[in-house]
C-alpha cells in the first residue's frame, strides 16, 4: 500500500464497503459521541468521516488530536446507517473505522478556525493566509480561478492564437500608473522597471510577424488599492492581432469572454447583445465609463426646463458656460421617505443634497408634481420633464447640476444606489457593453495636455486629427464593461512613426524623449509595421465576478493588504547594508 494513501478523501463510495483503505489529510472537525470519536478528515479532494470507539487501538491517539493536525489513518470502510447518510457529501454513504493512526504534522492552537464560516479580520486572515486558504469558500475561489485560466488558454488556442512570454525586467513605460523600479547592480545609478503591461513587447511581436499573440501576463503597478484592484500586481489575458480593425478585435474577444461566463457563471444569464456605447454617451447616461446595464435607469439632460425658470439655484447655475442639469429617473420612487434617503446618500457623497420631483395623484384624480422644485418650476415645466423622462404617477426624478466633470461621478453612484434601493437591478445576469471613442487627451490640473488613456493608441483620423484641438481627438480605444466593472481595455495601435511622434508631441514629449524612452518600438516601426490592435482582460476581476465576490483579494491566492503589505511574508522589508552597498544605494531617513 502507498505510504500515505490508497484513496483521497473524496473517493470512497458505497462500492468500497468492506475495503481496507489508507487516507491522509487534515482534521477538519472532531466530535465525541459518548465513547465514539468522529473525525471529518479533509484533503484537497473532499471529506471523509472516520471514527474510532474505545475498542480501537487508535482511540487514544484520536482523542489527543487538535484541529488541523495532519494524520494518516488505516481502516475499514463501513456503510452508514440509512438515517445517518449525509447526502451533501459525495462520501456521505460511508465512514471508515480507524484501526491505525499516525500524526504526520501536528498543529498548534489555531489563530483562526478553518471549520465554519466565521468572519475574521482581514489582517488576521492575510497573516495566516495558508490557513485561510483551507476554508471552503476561498479554496473553491482559487480552484475556480485555475479553471478559468485553463479555459481561457483553450479558447485562445482554438482561435489560432499562440502563447508567448514577455520580459519581467524591462524599461519604464507610461501606462497610467507608477512603476515599480528595480535598481541595477551591474549599472550603478540605473534602474529597470517591472512591466505595468507587456504593451511594447506585444506590439513588437506583431512587427516580428507572429500575427496572433496571447499570454496570461503578470502586470505590476504601484497603485492605491481598491476593492476591485490589487495595489501591486495582477494578471491579465493579454492579446494582440495583426491586420485588424476595432470590430475584428470585438468579434474575437466576445466568444472567449461570453463562453467563460456561460461556463462558470453558475447558471446566471449571459447577455449576448454587447452594445457599442460612445464614451461621452456613457458618462451622460450612466455617470461612468463602466456602466452596470442591469440597471435600466438612464440619466438625461434637462437643462432647458430650468434655464430662466423660477428655480433660482439651477437657473443661475446655467448662466455659466459648460454647466448643465441632469435628471436621474426613479421609477416607483415617488415617496418622501425615499427622497429623504437619497438626499442623505448625496450628502454622504459630499453634496448638499439632490433636488427631486415626486409625481403623485391629485385630489381631482390627475397626476401632480410635488416637492420644492415642482413648486418653483410650475405645472407646465414639471409636466414637460415627466414627459421627457417617461415617468408616471408614483415615480420620481432627482436632479444634479453644475459642470459635468464635477458631478458625473456622484450622479453615477446615485443612479446605482437608486436602482439598488428600488430593486431594479437584476442580480441574476451578466450584461456587457463596449465603451468606444475615448478621448486621446485630457487637461491636467495645471492646464497641460496629457494622454487620457493608452498613449500607444491610433487617433481617429490619423495625422489630420492631430492638427486641431487635442481635446477633440478621439482614439481607437475601447473598454469592455460588465455589471459595473471594467473587464477589458484595449486599442488599435499607432504603428506609424510620424503619427506617433506627433501624438506624443501634443502631450509634451519632444521627439528626442520619445526616441529615448521608446526607441526600440520607434526603430521597429521604421522597418515595416503592420496595422495591429488588441486588448487585455483582467483575470482577477473576471474571477471576482464569477465567484460573486465584492473584494478582489477573495480570488487571489496571496494578496497584499490595503497598505500594499504582505503580512505573511513580511514585505516590504528593509534591505541589508550589504545589499545596499552592492546596489550603491542609500536610503533617506523617514520624514
Q: What is the pLDDT of residues 358-407, one digit of tens each?
A: 999 888 888 899 999 999 999 999 999 999 999 999 999 999 999 998 89
Q: Does domain 295-425 have CATH number 3.30.1360.30?
A: yes
Query: Is the per-residue pLDDT at 175 higher than 70?
Result: no
Instruction: Give the C-alpha distances (Å, rounded to integers) separating 334 from 382, 390, 416.
Output: 14, 14, 17
Q: What are phi and psi of 200, to 5 degrees?
A: -65, -40
| Mean pLDDT, rounded, for 21-42 | 96
Q: What nine digits make up the cell of 151?
A: 479555459
521 pLDDT higher than 70: yes
Instruction: Pick out the residues of the known binding site for L-aspartate.
Output: 175, 221, 453, 493
Once rounded to an integer, what is the mean pLDDT over residues 471-477? Answer: 96
Q: How far apart are CA 517 and CA 522, in angstroms?
A: 10
Q: Is 99 helix (H, G, I), strand (E, B) or coil?
A: strand
Q: Determine the pLDDT at residue 176.
A: 63
The CA angle 359-315-392, to the nearest 5 degrees, is 15
Residue 360, exposed/middle/buried by CB under 10 A (0-12, 13-18, 19+)? middle
Which residue numbers belong to the known binding site?
A: 175, 221-223, 453, 486, 493, 538-541
Residue 227 has pLDDT above 90, yes or no: no
State the DSSP string of 388-455.
HHT--TT-EEEEEEE-HHHHHHHHHHHHHHHHHHTT---TTEE-EEEEE--BSEEE-TTS-EEESS-T
Residues 6+ apart with CB under 8 A from 47: 9, 10, 28, 40, 41, 89, 91
Q: How confident is the model at residue 244 (pLDDT cuts 50, 70, 90)?
A: very high
Task: Give the pLDDT mean for 520-528.
Answer: 93
Q: Which residues, in sequence order, are bridge partners of residue 31?
A: 38
Question: In the structure grid, which three cell numbers stand for residue 75, read together?
Answer: 481502516
Overall average pLDDT of the 80-105 stretch: 96
Query: Pseudo-torsion of CA 164, 168, 170, 171, nearest 10°?
Result: 110
CATH 2.40.50.140 boundaries in the chain:
14-105
Q: What is the pLDDT of residue 591?
A: 75
pLDDT of residue 19 exceeding 90, the answer is: yes
> For position 141, what pLDDT does the model report?
97
Asked whether the CA dihedral 412, 418, 421, 423 is positive or negative, the reply is negative
Binding-site annotation, residues for ATP: 221-223, 486, 538-541
Give the position of cell 482614439: 475
Q: Is the pLDDT of residue 13 over 80?
A: yes
Helix (H, G, I), strand (E, B) or coil at 147: helix
Cell triple for residue 451?
494622454
pLDDT at residue 357 tops 90: yes
Cβ atoms 548, 152 nearer than 8 A: no
In the chain, which residues fall in CATH 3.30.1360.30? 295-425
SS (H, E, C) 506-575: HCCCCHHHHHHHHHHHHHHHCCCCCCEEEEEEEHHHHHHHHCCCCCHHHHCCCCCCCCCCECCCCECCCC
Cα 369 to Cα 43, 301, 360: the distances in Å are 64, 19, 6
- The class (CATH top level) of 14-105 is mainly beta
Which fold is adopted by the domain 138-273+433-563?
Answer: BirA Bifunctional Protein; domain 2 (3.30.930)
Q: Is the pLDDT of residue 74 over 90?
A: yes
Mean pLDDT score, 103-131 = 93
pLDDT of residue 402: 92
The percentage of the chain sitting over the pLDDT mark of 90, rounded to a whole number, equals 87
Residue 174 — very low, low, confident or very high, per pLDDT cuts 50/70/90?
Answer: low
CA distance 196 to 457: 16
Whether the per-residue pLDDT at 280 is higher than 90: the answer is yes
Over the chain, what is the mean pLDDT? 94
| pLDDT tens-digit readout, 294-351 | 999 999 999 999 999 999 999 999 999 999 999 999 999 999 999 999 989 989 988 8
Return residue ranges of the chain for CATH 3.30.930.10.
Answer: 138-273+433-563
Region 458-477 average pLDDT: 95
Beta bridge partners of 27: 41
Amino acid at each position: 500500500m502507498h505510504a500515505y494513501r490508497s484513496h483521497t478523501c473524496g473517493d470512497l463510495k458505497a462500492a468500497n464497503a468492506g475495503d481496507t483503505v489508507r487516507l491522509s489529510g487534515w482534521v477538519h472537525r472532531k466530535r465525541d459521541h459518548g465513547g465514539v470519536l468522529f473525525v471529518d478528515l479533509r484533503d484537497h479532494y473532499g471529506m471523509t468521516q472516520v471514527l474510532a470507539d474505545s475498542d480501537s487501538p487508535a482511540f487514544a491517539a484520536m482523542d489527543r488530536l487538535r484541529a488541523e493536525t495532519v494524520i494518516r489513518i488505516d481502516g475499514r470502510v463501513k456503510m452508514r446507517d440509512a438515517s445517518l447518510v449525509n447526502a451533501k457529501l459525495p462520501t456521505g454513504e460511508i465512514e471508515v473505522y480507524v484501526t491505525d493512526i499516525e500524526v504526520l504534522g501536528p498543529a498548534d492552537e489555531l489563530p483562526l478556525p478553518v471549520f465554519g464560516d466565521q468572519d475574521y479580520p482581514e489582517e488576521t486572515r492575510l497573516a495566516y493566509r495558508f490557513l485561510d486558504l483551507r476554508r471552503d469558500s476561498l479554496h473553491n475561489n482559487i480552484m475556480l480561478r485555475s479553471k478559468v485560466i485553463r479555459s481561457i488558454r483553450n479558447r485562445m488556442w482554438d482561435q489560432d492564437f499562440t502563447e508567448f512570454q514577455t520580459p519581467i525586467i524591462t524599461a519604464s513605460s507610461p501606462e497610467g500608473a507608477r512603476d515599480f523600479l528595480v535598481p541595477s547592480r551591474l549599472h550603478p545609478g540605473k534602474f529597470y522597471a517591472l512591466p505595468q503591461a507587456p504593451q511594447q513587447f506585444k506590439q513588437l511581436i506583431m512587427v516580428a510577424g507572429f500575427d496572433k499573440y496571447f499570454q496570461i501576463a503578470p502586470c505590476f503597478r504601484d497603485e492605491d488599492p481598491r476593492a476591485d484592484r490589487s495595489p501591486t500586481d495582477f494578471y491579465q489575458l493579454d492579446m494582440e492581432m495583426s491586420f485588424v480593425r476595432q470590430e475584428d478585435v470585438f468579434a474575437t474577444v466576445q466568444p472567449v469572454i461570453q463562453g467563460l461566463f456561460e461556463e462558470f457563471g453558475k447558471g446566471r444569464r449571459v447577455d449576448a447583445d454587447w452594445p457599442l456605447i460612445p464614451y461621452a454617451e456613457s458618462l451622460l447616461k450612466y455617470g461612468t465609463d463602466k456602466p452596470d446595464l442591469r440597471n435600466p435607469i438612464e440619466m438625461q439632460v434637462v437643462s432647458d426646463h430650468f434655464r430662466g425658470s423660477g428655480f433660482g439655484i439651477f437657473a443661475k447655475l446655467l448662466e455659466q458656460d459648460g454647466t448643465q442639469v441632469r435628471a436621474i429617473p426613479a421609477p416607483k420612487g415617488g415617496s418622501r421617505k425615499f427622497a429623504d434617503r437619497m438626499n442623505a446618500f448625496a450628502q454622504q457623497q459630499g453634496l448638499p443634497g439632490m433636488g427631486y420631483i415626486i409625481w403623485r395623484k391629485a385630489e381631482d384624480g390627475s397626476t401632480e408634481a410635488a416637492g420644492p422644485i415642482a413648486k418653483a418650476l410650475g405645472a407646465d415645466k414639471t409636466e414637460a420633464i415627466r414627459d421627457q423622462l417617461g415617468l408616471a404617477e408614483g415615480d420620481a426624478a432627482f436632479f444634479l447640476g453644475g459642470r459635468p466633470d464635477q458631478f458625473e461621478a456622484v450622479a453615477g453612484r446615485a443612479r446605482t444606489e437608486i436602482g439598488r434601493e428600488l430593486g431594479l437591478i437584476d442580480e441574476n445576469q451578466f450584461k456587457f457593453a463596449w465603451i468606444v471613442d475615448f478621448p486621446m487627451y485630457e487637461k491636467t490640473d495645471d492646464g497641460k495636455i496629457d494622454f487620457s488613456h493608452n498613449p500607444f493608441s491610433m487617433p481617429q483620423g490619423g495625422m489630420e486629427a492631430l492638427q486641431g484641438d487635442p481635446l477633440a481627438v478621439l482614439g481607437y480605444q475601447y473598454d469592455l464593461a460588465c455589471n459595473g466593472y471594467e473587464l477589458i481595455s484595449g486599442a488599435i495601435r499607432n504603428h506609424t512613426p510620424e503619427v506617433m511622434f506627433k501624438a506624443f508631441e501634443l502631450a509634451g514629449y519632444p521627439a528626442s524623449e520619445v526616441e529615448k524612452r521608446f526607441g526600440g518600438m520607434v526603430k521597429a516601426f521604421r522597418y515595416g509595421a503592420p496595422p495591429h490592435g488588441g486588448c487585455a482582460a483582467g483575470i482577477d476581476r473576471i474571477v471576482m465576478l464569477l465567484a460573486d465576490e465584492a473584494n478582489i483579494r477573495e480570488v487571489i491566492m496571496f494578496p497584499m493588504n490595503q497598505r500594499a503589505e504582505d503580512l505573511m511574508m513580511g514585505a516590504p522589508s528593509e534591505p541589508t547594508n550589504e545589499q545596499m552597498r552592492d546596489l550603491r544605494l542609500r536610503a533617506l531617513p523617514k520624514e
